[in-house]
C-alpha cells in the first residue's frame, strides 16, 4: 500500500506549487486515488470478468438463453461497490497518517453529479472496448495492466491538466476521460480547468457519448465474430 501512496503522491507533489498547503495536497492525492480505483474497477471487475465467463462456459449460456450480461453484472455490482468503499477508507486513513486528512467536499453538487455520470459512462465504454479486445486477442493481464496504469496518468486522472506539461495536456484533451476528470476535480476542489467551463461540459458530453457508442459497437462486433469462429480460451497473461 505504501507503494501505491508513493505512486499517487509523486506526480501531485511534482506538479503542485509551493503555495498549496498539505491538506490540499492530501485531498488532491485522494481524488487521484479515487479516480484510479474506478478505472481499476472498470478494468478488473467489469472487463476482465469476461475472462471467467468464457473459461467457465457462462457466456455461451447467457447468449443462448437470451438473458444477456446485465443480471450477471448486477450481481457483482455490490461486491465492486464494497471493494471500492473499503479501498477508499484504507487510503483515506493512510493519507491521514502520512500527510493530512483529505478534505472531502463538493463545491458544486449538480456539476459533480453530471461529471461523475459522464465519468461512469466513459468507464463503461472503456470496459466494453477492453472486454472486446480480450475476446479477440485471448490475452488479459498485460493489456489490462498497461492500459489501467497509462490511462489515468496520461488523461489527467491523477492531477489537474493545468499542472501538466503542455504536450500531455494536448494528448489528454483528445480523450473523453480528461473532460470528466476535470469536471469532477473542479466540482470538488475548485481547480479551474484548462479550457472554458461551458466548452468542457459540451465537449466532454459529446466525447463521452461517442466513446460509449464506439464501445458498444466494438463489443457487439467482437461478439458476432466469436459466435462465428468460437470462443478462445482466455489466458491470464
Residue-wise pLDDT for 30-74, tens only, equals: 888 888 888 888 877 887 777 777 777 777 777 777 767 777 777
Residue 19, pLDDT above cutoff 70: no
Q: Calculate what percentage of the chain has a pLDDT beyond 90.
A: 22
User: Looking at 139-148, 160-169, 223-232, which range is the least confident one?
Assistant: 139-148
Burial of 11 (0-12, 13-18, 19+ CB in 10 A): middle
179: cell is 473532460
**Contact in structure between 132 and 219 (CB atoms under 8 Å):** yes
- What would the pLDDT profile of 149-172 be if each residue is shown by its tens digit? 677 767 777 778 887 888 888 888
**What single string gives the DSSP state of each residue in 161-205?**
GGGS-HHHHHHHTTSHHHHHHHHHHHHHH-PPPSS-HHHHHHHHH
Calculate mean pLDDT across residues 134-142.
66
Q: In which band, very low, low, confident or very high, does the pLDDT at 232 lie, cut at 50, 70 and 90?
A: low
Alpha-carbon distance of 145 to 43, in angstroms, equals 9
Instruction: Measure the CA–CA gap between 100 and 85, rounded to whole angstroms.
Output: 20
- Residue 237: is its pLDDT beyond 50? no
Give the start-to-end residue ranges of the domains of the chain. 2-8+20-229
Q: Is the pLDDT of residue 141 over 50?
A: yes
Q: Are 192 and 184 in contact (CB under 8 A)?
A: no
Instruction: Give helix 141-154 / helix 22-40 axis angle, nearest 10°.
Output: 150
- CA–CA dist 86, 149 (Å, integer): 21
At 109, give phi and psi (nearest 5°).
Answer: -65, -45
Cα-based torsion angle of the residue sequence 186, 188, 190, 192 in order, rounded to the nearest 10 degrees: -20
**pLDDT of 100 over the 70 cut:** yes
Amino acid at each position: 500500500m505504501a507503494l501505491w501512496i508513493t505512486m499517487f503522491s509523486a506526480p501531485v507533489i511534482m506538479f503542485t506549487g509551493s503555495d498549496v498547503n498539505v491538506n490540499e495536497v492530501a485531498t488532491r492525492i485522494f481524488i487521484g486515488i479515487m479516480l484510479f480505483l474506478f478505472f481499476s474497477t472498470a478494468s478488473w471487475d467489469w472487463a476482465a470478468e469476461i475472462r471467467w465467463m468464457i473459461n467457465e462456459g457462462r457466456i455461451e449460456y447467457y447468449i443462448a438463453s437470451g438473458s444477456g450480461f446485465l443480471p450477471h453484472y448486477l450481481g457483482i455490482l455490490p461486491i465492486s461497490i464494497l471493494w471500492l468503499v473499503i479501498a477508499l477508507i484504507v487510503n483515506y486513513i493512510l493519507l491521514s497518517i502520512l500527510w493530512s486528512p483529505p478534505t472531502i467536499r463538493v463545491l458544486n453538487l449538480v456539476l459533480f453529479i453530471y461529471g461523475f455520470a459522464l465519468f461512469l459512462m466513459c468507464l463503461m465504454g472503456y470496459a466494453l472496448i477492453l472486454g472486446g479486445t480480450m475476446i479477440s486477442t485471448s490475452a488479459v493481464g498485460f493489456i489490462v495492466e498497461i492500459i489501467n496504469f497509462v490511462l489515468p496518468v496520461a488523461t489527467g486522472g491523477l492531477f489537474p491538466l493545468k499542472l501538466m506539461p503542455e504536450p500531455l495536456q494536448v494528448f489528454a484533451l483528445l480523450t473523453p476521460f480528461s473532460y470528466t476528470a476535470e469536471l469532477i476535480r473542479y466540482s470538488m476542489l475548485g481547480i479551474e480547468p484548462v479550457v472554458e467551463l461551458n466548452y468542457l461540459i459540451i465537449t466532454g458530453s459529446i466525447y463521452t457519448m461517442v466513446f460509449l457508442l464506439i464501445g458498444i459497437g466494438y463489443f457487439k462486433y467482437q461478439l458476432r465474430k466469436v459466435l462465428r469462429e468460437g470462443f478462445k480460451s482466455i489466458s491470464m497473461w
